[in-house]
Structure 1
């Protein structure tokens, strides 16, 4: 297995979307270092190719601006991708796309209402980044035959319900570190997980993936709000793990990192990107220096994909910043449009879009460092809805900036469950 690297640096943005079993997305950050304003270089946009056919309506569902969450930039990223496609890519199959946006506020009943609005509107597809209450959307859209195309849909319902497409492998938040640990010859991993049902359910999947990579696994569950995790980490350290893998909220991860770096300063540590928040490094011995970060976007500023992303945001982004939050909406929308155009879609009804997504050839996922996706149901054995296998791993500096982005190619055999 060859790990592909990109060493340019960009400030990390601190939200992974949703964790594997349905942890909701974190809010966007406005602190220094959390995101950057896009720069305008219209030459990166290419040659204009304006869509001239009859309009087709796609939906876009996201949490939006709620009391504890803000995914407005995710929506702006999706809208920017659609506006760019309408002017430069011929829309979808030559048809300009009108985007109907609905905000769930991360409330299940509101999410169901959003889905019902999409059915009433007769949209041809619903796009989105990472919907924290996706299980309230799927039961409405699936019977109506409306495809739901998301950046990631990591709940059990999202992984298996026909008509849902997850173009990024959200399971790679565990599978990426597992493949990396296997590559490095590690033998033991301790998962440090926040003791809430969603995270503990995710950790069960993580245990399987690490075991598939040949590692012995222990899971240390710690209640939320535990300020001093020294006793739990000291107990875990008795087994001398080669790697600690941390999954939880940013404050949980900060406490876990503080204990690990105090008790086992030489240990390898991997975290999910939502663990990092600007300013938290001061509470961690040595900060985030050297920590591996499992992320959903490679925003290496020197890449063609990132240059296109910043140019699109500068022209169409309505003030959205260059961040993983914005990229989640942008990548899902542009990835879907590119796949449908690669399938030479002519029928832009919901049935035509459904068929187009299933028949599209391998397509590059925007802002991924070269990850390809194909929604033919054959990428991961137990999850026909997951359209790619590779993960993205980066290395953090002391304050949490990411560098050395690595695409982690994963053998599909890594993603097998008992009986799959």
Structure 2
């Protein structure tokens, strides 16, 4: 099917302009001021709306295999599409742990069969997330881009150093969960900062590619800024909830910090210290959440949360938001995505930046509803998501 989106504001990291855009045969076929000759397509009036490259999330938990009562690949993918995402990277803390190619291939093939989003998958750094014995790097397929012990992290300096050396040898990145669990019970801030410092240094001396997940403290931002200036091969993300929330007790890991941390994270996004925004989408059942499970669902509210906290507040431009939600994370994955140009794959999201709405539990399509944003008013709504030229969310699909 062909789609003609008329009179829409096209925005990516390079700038914005009002134009028409034609989608045909999975790609952006044509961009121009007046494409009325193509009105045999399905015409969408984009007046007052913004069309952006679809978002890329480097940090999601889809709970498959093993915890599919919380989420599965299909429900997680549909939540992603509702949030404007067409590319996601899933963590390895499944059951059994994704620490081998058999489980990795199961997840990848299931996602390909569904054909809803492009789902990439982490393999654990250590067997069964033990933090002790490295997984078999030699067995990894060519499409394995990152490994991670997210959820626990690696306490041993020796094991992390060996992991960096192996990752460098095999040209694989490591996503770091920055936490020393021995320190967390009495100083959660130091627990993050000390691992950020250690792994920044290890990246510098080994050359390993390190990506810091869910950075949340001003101290970690300062460390990463310093080591980037020294040439360390590091990138990092923060989350919408760590930008938006301050001083609240909704349980996530790392925890919600203070206003000064919000300000440091925003400054880090402004100056490029923080490369991207990822959700750390972590679904839990009501019962598990009541028992203290850390985490929240975030895919469906990520754009509105980020837009409200960053763009509507005057902290970032919409173009910069596109950069940190689409272009930069795609670049970290080595993907050609994040720019609206003729010939590019038509992975796009249509948003209304002026629409305000109250987040409702009934509107969440994830299996889990653990969100601190339920009942809050946000600004900026995803209207449609296109992937490979197909309308995957919104309209009459």
- The TM-score, its normalising length taken from structure 2, stands at 0.31
Indicate the structure whose relative CO is greater, using CA pairs within 8 Å and at least 6 residues apart. Answer: 1
